[in-house]
Structure formats: structure tokens, C-alpha cells
Structure 1
Amino acid sequence: MKQQLNSKNLIFQQIVEGLSGGVLMFNKALKLDYINPAGEMLFEISANRMQGLPLEEVFPNNDGLVTAMRDAFETGRPFTEREVVLYLQVMRTTAADCSVTPLFDLPSGKALLVELNPTERVMRISREENQFSQVNAIRALIRGLAHEVKNPLGGLRGAAQLLERELPDESLKEYTNIIIGESDRLRNLVDRMLGPNSVPQRVPLNIHEVLEHVRQLMEADVSDSIVLKKDYDPSIPDISADRDLLIQAILNIVRNAIQAVGESGVITLRTRALRQFTIGHIRHKLVCRVDIIDNGPGIPEDKIESIFYPMVSHRPEGTGLGLSIAQTMIQQHDGIIMCESQPGHTVFSVMLPVDADNQKTDQ
């Protein structure tokens, strides 16, 4: 009988830990006893660090909600509140539907069950799907245009080379050299717009080794007034990725951050593990999130939706290719790059599935 009970408890625990919504349990002193992996992901903090926190610290700056929870705990009346604003640890807020249920007759006495279902999750998935479809449509258009452009460029270059051989005056070759040089430049530009076309050569990879490589490259290339910080989660396991492609993608984003801060600023490379995270239509048990954070002026709100499109840049000197190529490389790894920006705080988040072949499940 005891073994059967333990088996049922294990099943219930697996069910709760597999939910996409956050589940929190507060004890009779209204201190946190349990939070599931989805809750950790929502609050962006580990269960170990949240364990034992009182209600007011779990839901800061939310006096109305905390008071309602205490009333529910005392009266035994459950309630649901929609679109509750949650204040996170990293200068961010998120919205969730909140259901509160008092529990009685437990071995430990009374308890309070809180369920949080992020409303932003549905909106984020919708934005990702829209971004996938738009970027793929633009790339298909570019591939078609590239074919039409590269063929005549090849003919133009060949004709210039033949003309160069027939010129009687050496000084006239300056003009054919210009034609050849511009043809090569346009061909290279088209190739860059197309992005990488090779299949990623995936191997087990430590994401922090890649980030340290990029950080050291950039530290040697920037002035002392630009500070490159790191904030790594050492618990993240190896991912399956192409090292060269991943380095190039991260490098493009970090260079973009360096250009954004100008002559002085702070750029932080941060990693976190996300559980039960959805990318596109696929929910992954574990995802590695790499944040590249800068304190530059931010990206204009009307430009942020198009920053991953080829040839789109909000800087006059920008080519509009770096972020587009980075997005392509990350999508080749079944991941995605997302961006949130406000003046003084811009975050590019690279989401990479951990062991994607074994851990993904259809939504």
C-alpha cells in the first residue's frame, strides 16, 4: 500500500513538473514550499533561491494581489484574477492569469496553491510564427532575386576580362578593373544576403566556451571604456551545435551591441536554463537561453519588428545583414533570437534547445 502511494505521488509530481503553467505552494506561514520548473522559468529564478520566501517577496509591488491571497487563505474562498502583472528579477514585467486555491486537511495543515498561466506566452508564440513566416518569405524572394542578379554579373565580369585583353592602352584597364571589382563586390553582397547555405556540423558543445571565445575576441577589439561582463549558469549541459556557426551568430549580436553603446557602455553575456519552453510549434524540456544585454540608447519601437530582415538597419552606417545572418544560423539549430528593448536596456535572447533531437515534443 505504501509503495502504491509513493508511486502515485511520483506520478502527480511528474504531472505538475510537466505543466506549462507555473504552480506554487505556500505553507501555513505563507512561505514558499514548492515551485515547479515552469514557475522557475516564469520568475527567471531557481527554486533553491525562492524556497522559503514569504508571499510579499514572491509577488513584490503587488499589494492588492497579496492582500487578496491572504484573504483567500483565511476565508477558504478561491479566486482567479486575469492579466496579473508580475515583477521579475531583471527589470522586467510579465503578465499571467492567476488562480488561487486554499487547501485544507493536509498533513502539514493549511496551504495555499497558486497557479500562474502566462498570457504573454501565447502572444510570444504568435509573434514567433509570424516572424518565421515573414523572414522565410523574404529569404525566398532574395534567393530568386539572387539567381537573376548573379547570372548577368557573371557575364558582365567575363566580358570585362575579355575586353581587358583587347585594350591597346594599359591605362584603359583601370576602367575594366572597376567593372570587375564592382561585379565581385555585388556578388559577395548577394552571397552575404543569402546567408549560410551549409548544413550545421553538430557536435556536443559547451555554450560557455563559445561565449568566452567571443568575449575574448571582442575585448581585444574594443576600448577600455566598454566593459564586457559575464553571468553564466554553470548547470547548463552541453548543447548540440556547429561551433563555427554559433560563434559567428553570437559575434554578430555582440558587435551590434558594441556599436549600439558607442564610445562607452556595459555589455553583459548571460546564460540561463529554461524548462518546458516553446520555440515555434515545438515545446522543449530544456532550452539554453543566451542573453546579450547592452545599456545603449535602445531600438526604436517602430523598428524592432523588422531588425532581423535583410538590409534593414536603424543605423545609417549599418548593412542590415548581421542580425539577419545570425537569425538564420540560430534557426538552423532549431532555435530563435528574440529582442526586447527600451532606452538603456536592450536584450537579445538566443534560444537554443538542449539535445533537441531527444527532448522536443509537439505542442
Structure 2
Amino acid sequence: MTHEAHPLGWSRRQLLAVAASAAAIGPLHAQAQARFATRPVRVVVPFAAGGATDVIARVLGERMAQRFGQPVVVDSKPGAAGLIAGDAVAKSPPDGMTALLGTTSSMLTNKYLYKKTPYDPLTDLTPLVRVCLAPIALVVAADTPAQNLQEFMAWIQAHKGKLSYGSYGIGSHGQLACTTLSEVASAGMTHVAYKGEAPMVQDLLGGQIQIGMGSMVNLKPHIDAGKLRALAVTGPRRVPLLPDVPTFIEAGYKHDALSIVGWLAIAGPKNMPAEVARQWAEAANEAVASREGTARIIAAGFVPVDDDTPQGFAKLWAQEGPIWGRLLQAAGVQPS
């Protein structure tokens, strides 16, 4: 019996081996493409519809739906400093069908701000992936003599006990950062807590306070108009929306309250399977890295993160919790 030679010169045994490998790849590929989602996936957001977090959730959700093979529904549950949304996710089945897209406060610092909460974010949620960093900026009125952070520190020291700074609430990152700056300069600045950034910005523009710290998206229009001057931003890297403004670290101030940064991240209920957590992280990273995802995140004043993992986020989460706790205690913030 004769055998026709294969065009590439392969033997019959080699051809059988290749065929067997191809047959094995089919099931493995199907397994790799398997998805946990068997119905629409729900992403709970602790803010009202139309806000920056809600918009980002919808943009990322459209991309993640392609990976999950199911629609991603954004469910806004505002109120109670994010506790309502967080509690809804914490009490959901850990099957991957429900996740929280929240902030550092709703996922971490609320533990230190309230004596009693319906859930403990450190034990009742599964960290999945960060989608962006949420730095804040130190700003002063345009007629302030300080042109940079060094001049600012000298200025507040020279006006000890005479200056006031605003933040968007008791226990906010803005309060913690300005408290640190005041202590470093022995400036004795007074904290004015506002219910949100809008009234703080109005008082800054009106001259009722001289200093403020807040988000890029709310401050940038006034910075661009020349009414406010940005001196530094928190976190490890510059903000795309304000590329010329240095970080506190670059300016030589490496204190925890100035180098740490808030974030926007995704978490699920506790006991979520590792494989499901991995799929969430991969889908989120891909969505953030997309052109629209990156553009939306930058436009909102955030710094995109498209390379996070559940393991990396869990480690960071565990490390940062005590830091925020110490900062709040040092600032004299008492749990309510």
C-alpha cells in the first residue's frame, strides 16, 4: 500500500498528532470563552443618574457587555454616602451578576466615618478592579500671591490663623490634605465644610474662603478662566486634565494625605469565585483601555487604570484602609 506524501513533507504520524491537538483545542477554546453571565448583569452606582460616575458606568458597561455576552444594566442607588448602594451589592448572591461601581468612600472610608453601617466593605465585599484614580487639586483664588506650592506654604505660614480652606464635607480627602498642609506650616487654618463642591467653589470665587480642594471636573473651568490657580494634585501621577500641575510628591511633600489618592473601582459581594472575579477585571480593563472609555474617564478629571487585577486591588485595599483611618483620626474626625 502506498501513501501519498503530504505537501509539507509531514509523516502520517505527525498529521495525526496535529489533528489530535486541533481536536483538543476546540473544547479548551470553548471553555476559555465560557461566561458566568446567564442574564443581564447589574452594576450598582451610589450616585444619581447623569453624574460622572453614572456616565462612566454606562460607557464601560457597553464595552463589558460584549465580553459578558449579556447587557450591563446601570442601577443608580444614591443616598446615605454610598451605603445604600454598597449594602445592596453586599447582600447580593456572589455569582458575578451584581457589582458595585463606587468610590473610596463607599468602598473603604465609610467604615471609619460611621459608628454603625449595614456592611463592612473590608469583609463584605470582594475587590475586583480599579477603573481610575480620583485625585483632587489644591486651588487658590487668582489674586493670591502664591504661584506654586512652596510659595503657598510660606504664605499660609505668614498669615497664621487668618486663612480658611474649604472642602466638600467632613472627613473628605480635601479636609485631610489641607489639615496636613496646615500642620506642616503651623498655619492654624480654619476648615469650612460644605455639602458638596458647588457651594465651596462659589465661596472661593466670591472671596469668602481663600483655599479649596476638589475634583478636576468642577475646578478646571474656573482654572481655565483664570479665576482659580491650581498648585498641586494628590496621588502618584499627574492628571491628564491638568498636565502642567505637579503632584504634591513632585513638589517634595510625601505625607500620606497628599500622596494617597481616591479611586473609582468595581467590587462584588464577598465569596465571589476567583474565576468570575478575573473575568470582571479583564472586562473592565479592556473597557477602560478602549478609546471611548479612556476619553470619558479623562474628561471627568480622573486618571485611567487599565491594568489592575483582583489580587492587586485586594492588596491595595487592605493597605490603604488603615491609612485612611489614621488620617481621619489625626484630623479629629469622629465617627457619627
| Interval of TM-score (by shorter of Structure 1 and Structure 2) | under 0.3
Bigger CA radius of gyration: 1
**TM norm structure 2:** 0.23
Between 1 and 2, higher relative CO (CA 8 Å, sep ≥ 6) is seen in 2
Greater percentage in strand: 1
**TM norm structure 1:** 0.22
